[in-house]
Amino acid sequence: MKPLGPIPAGFGVTNGELTIGGLAVRALVERAGDTPLFVYSGDLIRQRVATLRSAMPDRLKIHYAVKANPLQSIVQQMDEIVDGFDIASGGELELLRAAGVDLGRVSFAGPGKRDAELELAIAAGAVLNLESESEARRALAIADRVGLTPRLAVRVNPDFELRGSGMKMGGGAKPFGLDAERVPALVRSLIAAGADWHGLHIFAGSQALSAEAIIEAQANTLGLAARLADEIGVPPQHCNMGGGFGIPYFAGDLPLDIDEVGAALAQRFADLPDDLSQTEFCIELGRYLVGEAGVYLTRIVDRKESHGEIYLITDGGLHHQLAASGNFGTVVRRNYPVAIATHFLAAATEEVNVVGCLCTPLDRLADKAFLPRADVGDIVAVFCAGAYGASASPATFLGQGPAREILV
Ligand SMILES: *Cc1c(COP(=O)(O)O)cnc(C)c1O
């Protein structure tokens, strides 16, 4: 038997069926039309943002990293409750425009921005987080050609990393940002060229569950920002401190203690050097805001046995849930939280493998999971599906196509 990850709080049960936002899964499937289906709870997202705000110092702005879940209805809800958006492509910029977001609240990071994307962002008044000197030159030339003052921040490749981070984005050679020691010269040249220097972007990693590790990374981030501001000689208007707040996916994972993080940050903010005393700070979070608010629902289409093992074969799979299948940046495959949504909270009686419908052995949703008896027609729920699910999985693989998505 392999343990399942912890089911996030905030879901209910009625007549033995899982409920999301108070609605039972069969009714949700009927409303959406069919499985496979992602259901996102607007209440859980709002609660998450509210809890986070109350834990963090007032001075800290909260940005949503759109790549975690770019669904238009989620973006529109976020627009009412967060202070800004972080994007990493021209496509995401167009998506925010279509959702009606004020593009002046957007910052655009990411290596390999094409000229057309730079122009789009400059014309929209978004902040560009520059990733290299050559990108800076291209942005300045484009701004000059279109006759606009570009809003330019510089992304710093920090000289430290976020410990325990699922994805390391700093420390050593990286395709992201400028090595810290090269930042002051670039910023001075941007200011000299007449750009609106917006500030610094320092992102050290993702998916950390240790408050201690985040506190350490934030302290290092503020220390680095202070050193750079001092060397540049001009205080930054803004400092994007990155994010990295993780969520529990696997057995044994414990939630991040955000009160501890907020208390430590409040102390640091009370003690900032002069160069940062007027600076506006933000964090950029994706999965922490939406990950636990989403559930992936997939129907069992076959039940079979092979060499003594039971297989529940579903109409979903890795083409919607690459991360849950264990094929998105994991070394050892572990089980996400998974349940039989149509017999939710029923006693587990058998060990089963829950697999997808793709013709590849990689397509697994749960291995050797101890679950209640389930048959053809029952619905499986994969939790922690709100971030990096629909938009980070190969939906066209094997001609399957995308899952349905609803926000309730
Ligand atoms: C992906 C990414 C994020 C969001 O990461 P989460 O783990 O979803 O919070 C934030 N900032 C940058 C620069 C990123 O690349």
| Distance from residue 147's CA to the centre of ligand 1 (Å) | 32
- For position 17, which CATH number holds? 2.40.37.10
The span from the CA of 381 to the CA of 280, in Å, is 41
Q: Same domain, yes or no, for 131 and 169?
A: yes
The finding on whether 131 has its CB within 6 A of some atom of ligand 1 is no
Domain boundary among 250, 285, 320: 285
Percent of the chain at pLDDT exceeding 70: 99
Nearest Cα residue to atom 4 of ligand 1: 286
**What is the C-alpha separation between 397 and 408, in angstroms, rounded?**
28
Smallest CA separation from ligand 1 atom 14, residue: 65
Pocket test for ligand 1, best of 203, 287, 292 (most atoms within 8 A of CB): 203
Q: Are residues 244 and 133 in the same domain?
A: yes
String of DSSP letters for 118-172:
HHHHHHHTPEEEE-SHHHHHHHHHHHHHHT---EEEEEEE-SS--TT-SEE--SS
pLDDT for res 170: 58
Please report whether residue 149 resides in a domain.
Answer: yes
Q: Are strands 205-206 and 196-202 parallel, antiparallel or unpaired?
A: unpaired
- Give yes or no: 282 in active site: no
Its pTM surpasses 0.75:
yes
| Domain assignment present for 48 | no
Whether residue 61 has its Cβ less than 6 Å from ligand 1:
no
Quick one: 389 and 326 in the same domain? Answer: yes
Distance CA 330, CA 250 (A): 12
Ligand 1 centroid–CA 286 distance in Å is 6
Inside any domain, residue 65: no
Domain count, the chain: 2
Q: Is the CB of 17 under 6 A from ligand 1?
A: no
Amino acid 110: pLDDT = 97
Looking at residue 164, what is its pLDDT? 79
Q: How much distance in Å is there from the Cα of 207 to the middle of ligand 1?
A: 9
User: Do residues 259 and 297 both lie within one domain?
Assistant: no
> Which amino acid is residue 245, in one-letter code?
F
**What is the residue with the minimal CA distance to atom 8 of ligand 1?**
286
Q: Is 286 in the pocket of ligand 1 (CB under 6 A)?
A: yes
Average pLDDT in the chain = 96
User: What's residue 165's pLDDT?
Assistant: 74
- Containing structural domain, residue 199: 70-285
- Determine the distance separating the centroid of ligand 1 and the alpha carbon of 171, expressed in angstroms: 16
The span from the CA of 47 to the CA of 53, in Å, is 10
Is 320 touching ligand 1 by the criterion CB < 6 Å? no
Residue reference for tokens 């930042």? 183
Active-site hit among 239, 282, 357, 359: 359
> Tens digit of pLDDT for each residue in 31-78?
999 999 999 999 999 999 999 999 999 999 999 999 999 999 999 999
**CATH number of the domain within which 96 lies:** 3.20.20.10
Residue at 198 is within a domain: yes
Q: H or E segment at 76?
A: helix 72-81
302 inside domain? yes
Q: Is the CB of 249 under 6 A from ligand 1?
A: no
- Same domain? For 120 and 260 the reply is yes
The alpha carbon of 168 and the centre of ligand 1 are apart by a number of angstroms equal to: 11
Centre of ligand 1 to C-alpha 149, Å, is: 27
Q: Is the CB of 284 under 6 A from ligand 1?
A: yes
Instruction: Please tell me the predicted confidence (pLDDT) of residue 116.
Output: 98
Q: Indicate whether 367 and 306 sit together in one domain.
A: yes
377 falls within a domain: yes
Same domain, yes or no, for 113 and 207?
yes
User: At which of 285, 320, 340 does a domain end?
Assistant: 285
225 within domain boundaries = yes
Atom 2 of ligand 1: nearest residue by CA position: 65
Out of 61, 285, 289, 388, mutate this one to test ligand 1's pocket (max ligand atoms within 8 Å of CB): namely 285
Same domain, 132 and 212: yes
Residues of the chain short of pLDDT 50, as ranges, are none
Which of 285, 312, 327 marks a domain boundary? 285
The pLDDT tens digits for 130-151 are 999 999 999 999 999 999 999 9
Ligand 1 geometric centre to CA of 69 (Å): 11
- The reply to whether 118 and 238 lie within a common domain is yes
Q: Which long-range contacts (CB under 8 A, 24 or more apart) does 112-121 make?
A: 114/90, 115/142, 116/90, 117/89, 117/90, 117/93, 118/142, 119/146, 120/90, 120/93, 120/94, 121/90, 121/93
